Amino acid sequence: MPRSPRPVRVLRAIAAGLAALVLVLLAMPVTPSFAQASGHVRVKFVKAGLLVGGGAGSGVLNYRGRNYPFTVGGLSLGITAGASVGRFEGRASGIRDVADFAGTYSSVGGGFALVGGVNGVQLRNEKGVTLVLQGPKAGLELAANISQITISLK
């Protein structure tokens, strides 16, 4: 009984598809120039206010093996009373270029600190960079507000 040519055609089509896939993968650049990367962030922030709050601080972004110092300033509007000092650490994600890290970040939230505690915050800027930070906070503060934080690379 003669063999049907159909299975041979199917195997050839599968082999051609695999060869095309390998060629596409080999043609892709080794270093993804447009890939988003994340960095490690450390920041110290001092905040005080009564109804309207303000704060300032500084920090370091470690991104692709290099350290980038930055300054941070912020303004909050809502229920704010007291003063606190926070040392935060976490990740910055969605960075395509280190310049994307600088910008205005927004958050809506609240918190409470009495002498000490742990605080966490998630912020996002207009370029799509997201900061997820947490760390110890010391002072006396009650807050339920809308915050805008501006980060500038030094």
Report pLDDT digits (tens) over 139-150.
776 666 667 889
In-domain check, residue 28: no
Burial track 61-76 (b if 16+ CB lie within 10 A, e otherwise):
bebeeeebebebebeb
Sheet with 103-125: list strands edge to edge: 37-63, 66-95, 130-153, 103-125
With respect to residue 26, please indicate whether it lies within any of the assigned structural domains. Answer: no
Q: How far apart are the C-alpha atoms of 129 and 96, rounded to whole Å? A: 9
Cα dihedral: 22, 25, 30, 32 (round 10): -170
Answer yes or no: is 132 within a domain.
Answer: yes
Residue 31 domain-assigned (yes or no):
no
Considering the domain boundaries, does residue 2 fall inside one? no
> Residue 10: inside a domain, yes or no?
no
Q: Which residue has the higher pLDDT, 17 or 71?
A: 71
Asked if residue 33 belongs to a domain, the reply is: no
| Number of independent structural domains in the chain | 1
Q: Mean pLDDT over all residues of the chain? A: 77
pTM for this entry: 0.68
- Domain coverage including residue 44: 39-153
In a domain, 88, yes or no: yes
More confident residue, 117 or 124: 124
